[in-house]
Every structure is written in structure tokens, then in C-alpha cells.
Chains A and B, each alone.
Chain A
Amino acid sequence: EVQLVESGGGLVQPGGSLRLSCAASGFTFSSYDMHWVRQATGKGLEWVSAIGTAGDTYYPGSVKGRFTISRENAKNSLYLQMNSLRAGDTAVYYCARVIMPTGAFDIWGQGTMVTVSS
């Protein structure tokens, strides 16, 4: 079964750091671009970061310089290192697989909750 499972969420103080993980199974992880998408409670979806099969990375302005996406193909794992966290980063964070060549997100994890609060 094709599956993505996130972990690493929790409560962190403003200015703190957190590292999220996403474990992939059931497909050849190294062959797919991967992304992180977040959703604040009761709000819409926001794209957070992307990493290509060659390790190229992309970010929106809202997290650029604070978040770092990475992957470890040998462990079928995706990561999101989040630094300088703000209250506005509070959300459920999903990892998602991109279906090529279309570019849409065809597989999503169940999400992990990140709460930034003092």
C-alpha cells in the first residue's frame, strides 16, 4: 500500500525549532518530487516547500530562510527543519507526493500538528 506517515509535531515556543519527518512506503520514494503543505485550524491549504528528485528545493516567501526541506532516499524519508517558529506557523503539516508528469499531489499523509505558543 502506498503510504506517507508524518511525525515530529508538537508544542514549541516562539523562536524555537522543530523537525518533522515523513516516512514513505509502497513506492519508489527516490523517483518522486515531494512537498510539505500546511493547514491552520479552520483555514485553507498553504504550500510550504518542495524537493525534487535531484535534491533541488523550493519555498514560498513566508518560510524561506526559516524552513529547510530535505530527503534521505536510503531511508525513504522526507524532512522539514523548521527554525525561528512563529505563532502563524501553527498548523497541521502534511507531506505529499507529486504525480508526474502532471504535478498534482496524488498521495497525502495524515498530517502532524505543530503548535507554536508560549
Chain B
Amino acid sequence: EIVLTQSPGTLSLSPGERATLSCRASQSVSSSYLAWYQQKPGQAPRLLIYGASSRATGIPDRFSGSGSGTDFTLTISRLEPEDFAVYYCQQYGSSRTFGQGTKLEIK
């Protein structure tokens, strides 16, 4: 099973700042089958990024994904108030596993 480790566990930033979230896999994720989701309290997760770097429909371009192999990054270029949430990475190249999440909170 591929284990995904997200860092940091909590990220405290202010609106307008840049956020960089990391997701590291215990083994290579094939064909960049890596996705990022956003989840707000009481809501289902929302797909942000698939294939490591492709934005899902309707996702603002301040969200971007990068990486390959075992190291992946989600970047939010300028934080908006609605971006404060929990973010999960997921791999779907070998079975399916999620990272433990990064909580992005307002500083």
C-alpha cells in the first residue's frame, strides 16, 4: 500500500499570502495519478487537482499542482478567505489512499 504523508499538519497564514502544501508518497505514484481535495467543515470533499497538475472544472487558477514520482505540491498563490479548509492528497495509481490532511487556518 502506498502511504501518503502530508506536511505541515497545520499551516497558519493570512489572506493574500501564498500557501505551499506538500504530499510525499512512500513509493512512486504511477503516471502522476495524484489528486488534491479541499474539505470544509460539514461538507463533502471537493476535487481541486487531478493528474498532479490539472485543475478540475470551476477551480480558480490561484490553485496549482505540481510534482511527480514521490513528491507533490499544492500551491495557492494568493489566499482568499474561502480557501481556509482542510486539504487532502490522494493517489489512485495503486489501489487508492489518502494523505492525513493539512489544515489551512487563518493566522
Contact = CB atoms under 8 A, between A and B. Distances in A.
B54 interface: yes
B35 A104 contact: yes
B97 A108 contact: no
Given A44-B88, A45-B88, A105 B47 contact: yes
Chain B interface size range: 20 to 34
Given A102-B54, A103-B92, A47 B98 contact: yes
Interface residues of A, number: 19
- B47, B95, B96, B97: residue with the most chain A Cβ atoms closer than 10 Å: B96
A45 B45 contact: yes
B63 interface: no
B47 A45 contact: no
Contacts of B101: 44-45
Nearest to A35: B96
Contacts of B15: none
Contacts, number: 56
Contact of A45 (B46, B50, B92, B98): B98
B75 interface: no
Interface of A is mostly: strand
A56 interface: no
Contacts of A111: 44
Interface of B: 33, 35, 37, 44-47, 50-51, 54, 56-57, 88, 90, 92, 95-101
Interface of A: 35, 44-47, 50, 58, 60, 94, 99, 102-106, 108-111
Given A47-B95, A106-B56, A111-B44, 8 more contacts: A35-B96, A44-B99, A45-B37, A45-B90, A99-B47, A104-B35, A108-B44, A108-B45
